[in-house]
Amino acid sequence: MDSLRILTASEQVAGYLREELLRGKWSETMPGEGWLTSQLGVGRDTIKAALKHLENEGLLVGQGVGR
């Protein structure tokens, strides 16, 4: 049996955003960090880390400020 792994807040947000991206919620651009922080109730650093996870996976391409 695999051991239980607790996900960080940024991993949880990345998982949520990944699902939304794969469902086609955002086709060309997605909301900026400010909107995501207010909608998801997490801090900007958490959003930045989650977006970085998705960039590393190749799901997002960083576009600078606001992405």
Q: Tell me: the pLDDT tens digits for 4-57?
A: 889 999 999 999 999 999 999 987 788 889 999 999 999 999 999 999 999 999
Q: Which pLDDT does position 10 carry in this prediction?
A: 96
- DSSP for the chain? -PPP-PPPHHHHHHHHHHHHHHHTS-SS----HHHHHHHHT--HHHHHHHHHHHHHHTS----STT-
Q: Which pLDDT does position 50 carry in this prediction?
A: 96
